[in-house]
Each structure stands twice: as structure tokens, then as C-alpha cells.
Amino acid sequence: MHVEVQPHIRIGEIEAKYALLPGDPGRVERVARYLDDPREVAYNREYRSVLGRYRGIPVLVISTGIGGPSVGIAVEELRRIGVTTMIRIGSCGALQPGIRLGDLVIANGAVRNDGTSDTYIERGYPAVPNADLLMTLLKTVKGLGFPYVCGLVRSHDSFYTDREEEIDRFWEVKGIVASDMETAALFVIGGLRKLRVASILNVVVEAEGELERGINQYVEEGNMSATGEEREIELALKTIFADANQK
């Protein structure tokens, strides 16, 4: 069956059933270093894609930009071309003390403070990952020995807000471990579309840290946040390998 080239990601027929979803187009190139025979497929707007193989398994890496709307477009169009399993490899700010730069957060659910998931269904619908994929992630990360936390994250729409400290404190006391801008949309759309989705987040700002300074250090790749990125890439790829060999 012919598959149309999708309007935003600019991909049509593709052999990969697995996709990694970083936010930053620049991170796609760094993920590609872990793949055999990587080749760029398309680059349109925020959607840069590379196809390669990890231990024989076709894997598509595609950036999604920032926020729920752009990740929602990517998920919908990837589904249309036959991708069934998607793992976000993104960044987050920690909300709990003791979570350090470069630690990984594996989301077992998300607070829906975003607008994108609201456009799909009322907030009573849970934002959760695929259970089997989550279990494989947890088993894999334990085997690798990477520092991680598994817990609830909060997804929101505003990177800059006058109430940042107040909002963070509110969710900290509720036990939310970290915040990002995409996981809730990924989980809700994935659930509604019967996709297998999960989210791994690299801590780039500690709960006691300064937001802009943490992000700038991450961009410069000069600290533990860059190590965290390497960890989440390795974890995601080894999870894909383990998952593919369970079937």
C-alpha cells in the first residue's frame, strides 16, 4: 500500500516501526552516531529525521521541536507511515531535591497542564505510557546502572512565566518529580491512537538550580547534562533491542 509523504515530517514509506523522539534537531545527529548506516531522511521545520539500524533493528530518529503541538504533529504523522513504538528522549527540570544533573527521569504518568492533550479529550483521560514498554525500560536501566527516578512528571506550555517558583513548589509538594513540555501530549495521543509510547528525560536543571543557566550549560555540552543525554540515548536503544527480541 502506497503511503503518502506526510506534510510536516516529509516522510512517506519507511521500514522502521521504532522511533526515538528528541526535541532538538541537533540531537538527531548525536543519536545517529549510535546507529549503523545512518542516513538523513528529511529536514523540514523542526522535524529532522535520520534512519539507521541498531543491532539490526531499523530505528527512525526524528526531532519534534518544543511543546505539545509540535510533538502531536510528529506522533500523528509517524503513525500514518507505520511507526508503532515511540520513545521520547528529552530534557526536564527536576522538582524534587536530590535529583541531580544527568540523572534520568522515566515518566510513569504526566500531569496534563498542556493545551494539546486538552484538544483531544477531557482531562479525566490519563496520560500514561505503554505498560510493557515502561517495564522494559525499567529493567534495562537497572541493568545499565544509570542513576534514575521513575515517577510522575508535569507537562506545561510556558517556558517563561512570572510564577515559576510558585508553580514548581505547588507540584513539588504533590510528589511530581520533574517538568517538561511534551510528555503529556505524547502519552495522551499515544493512548488514543493505540501506540506504544514512553518518555525518558535527562535532568538539565536541578530543583535548587537556575533555569536559564542550566539550559545554557546543556546546550554547551559541558557538564553532567551532556552525560545524561548519552545515558538516555543508550537506554532508549537498548530498550528497543530488548523489546524487539521479546516478540
Using CA atoms, how far apart are residues 103 and 63, in angstroms rounded to an integer?
A: 21
For residue 15, pLDDT over 90 is answered with: yes
Per-residue pLDDT reduced to its tens digit, 117-160: 999 999 999 999 999 999 999 999 999 999 999 999 999 999 88
Using CA atoms, how far apart are residues 214 and 93, in angstroms rounded to an integer?
A: 9
- Name the helix (H) or strand (E) containing 238: helix 224-244
For residue 93, pLDDT over 90 is answered with: yes
Using CA atoms, how far apart are residues 205 and 218, in angstroms rounded to an integer?
A: 9
Nearest residue to 30 via CA among 183, 232, 216, 203 = 232
Per-residue pLDDT reduced to its tens digit, 162-211: 998 899 999 999 999 999 999 999 999 999 999 999 999 999 999 975 55
Query: Domains in the chain, ordered, with CATH?
Result: 18-244 (3.40.50.1580)
Say what the pLDDT of residue 216 is: 58
**Whether the Cβ atoms of residue 104 and residue 146 lie closer than 8 Å to each other:** yes
Q: Whole-model pTM?
A: 0.94
